[in-house]
Amino acid sequence: MMKEVSIPNRIIMTPGPVEVDPRVLRAMSMPILGQYDPVFRGLMGEVSELLKIPFETKNTHTFAIDGTSRSGLEAAMLGLIEERDRVLIPAFGRFAYLWAELAERAGADIKMIEKEWGGTFEPSEVIAAIKEYQPKVLAMVHGETSTGQMQELKEIGRYCQENDVLFIVDAVATFASTPVKVDEWGIDIAVGGTQKGLSVPSGMSTITYNERVEKILTSRYQKELGLDPKVRNKRFIKSNYLDLSQIQRYWSAEGINHHTEATSMIYAIHEGLRLVQAEGLTDRYARHKLNEQAMVTGLKAMGLSIFGDPATKLPTVTCIEVPEGVDEAALRSTLLSNFGVEIAGSFGSLAGKAWRIGNMGYSSRKENVLLTLAALEASLLVNGAQINKGEGVLAAMKVYQEN
């Protein structure tokens, strides 16, 4: 007979999934409601309203999709792209290639412009590429977790709004931990996740889009065959499960039968968003910035180097260069098996060469920063690194004392 699930204690300092507030876990343990129970439909409506807070948007169509973050990215791409539509994707890390992967599968003609990892684009570079390539859609990553860099979006978004380009943004790594100003920045579709800044378990993505997008979706709407075979559309979206024109109607008062909403995840996201509202965006972002500052100061005091341009550093991820002679994976194993502390490696050209420490949501706490620094110092020493002993934690504590 299989034994019950038993969970060891962990300090999760990866770029996601991160620790979940106990209040969210408690919400998940509540009994199920039917998907058309008026109480449950009411909760869905509240989730839609609450989501507008971290997205800083007035968009009517703001809801959750029952799939992990990339399901929201794929839904966004499939909703806008028809065969041979042009998509421009500026890449400064791994996750732009996920946009490209999704665009390719949606049948787009793709143009990528690439930046060496460790920096971001000047808005003028992206705008120049738009002028040259004349895309229907510009797809960008806001916070690139693979490199710990964050792209400035406002100027690019404004250009897109004025020049009939659809601007879709992967805000998975920034949502609910760093400002994502959907309306002010001129973002047509923004996609967030649950398992990072929001500190809700993985399994849902969050999405918001404006009337420009709604118009396109409506023009492609095809009712599900089992519900009404008469409403056909030659330009139908190439997925049923990720068809935003249907999901939008599931979330609206119309309430068509699409999927069966993931009840417990709705409870979780409701509670996670309620905690965002209670903390307030300003305080929440300030907390993340302070914990980032303490972590970076501690790492530097230890003698480690932070990867990438500090001017465009992503507050929620700190990317550290692995010192000469240290085995990247062995260090992480020491950390996890002795201290229960989890950090991450990276991808592509940074695989084996960088560690990534997350600073997101409920994991972004003073004790987590200090414990991680302490555990990291010991683990580095055990793995043969030359670092400044006893400096890291004290430098971080000083940051907290002074702020």
Output the CA torsion sign for 157, 160, 162, 165.
negative
CB of 23 to its own copies, least distance (A): 8
Nearer to its own copies, 96 or 137 (CB): 96
Q: Which of 147, 162, 141, 148 is nearest to 69 (CA)?
A: 141
Output the CA torsion sign for 136, 120, 69, 288.
negative
Nearer to its own copies, 33 or 397 (CB): 33
Nearer to its own copies, 132 or 228 (CB): 228
CB of 284 to its own copies, least distance (A): 15
Nearer to its own copies, 67 or 157 (CB): 67
Query: Residue type at 120?
Result: T
Nearer to its own copies, 66 or 85 (CB): 66
CB of 84 to its own copies, least distance (A): 15
CB of 255 to its own copies, least distance (A): 13
Nearer to its own copies, 3 or 215 (CB): 3
d(CA 119, CA 21): 32
CB of 59 to its own copies, least distance (A): 19
Contact, 71 vs 242, CB < 8 A? yes
Instruction: Classify 6 as helix, strand or coil.
Output: coil
Q: Is the peptide bond preceding residue 17 cis, with omega within 30 degrees of 0?
A: yes
CB of 115 to its own copies, least distance (A): 15
CB of 154 to its own copies, least distance (A): 26
Q: What angle do CA 60, 64, 66 make, to 5 degrees?
A: 150
d(CA 129, CA 124): 9
DSSP symbols for 222-279 = ---TTT-TT---TT--S-STT-HHHHHHHHSTT----S---HHHHHHHHHHHHHHHHH
Nearer to its own copies, 347 or 400 (CB): 347
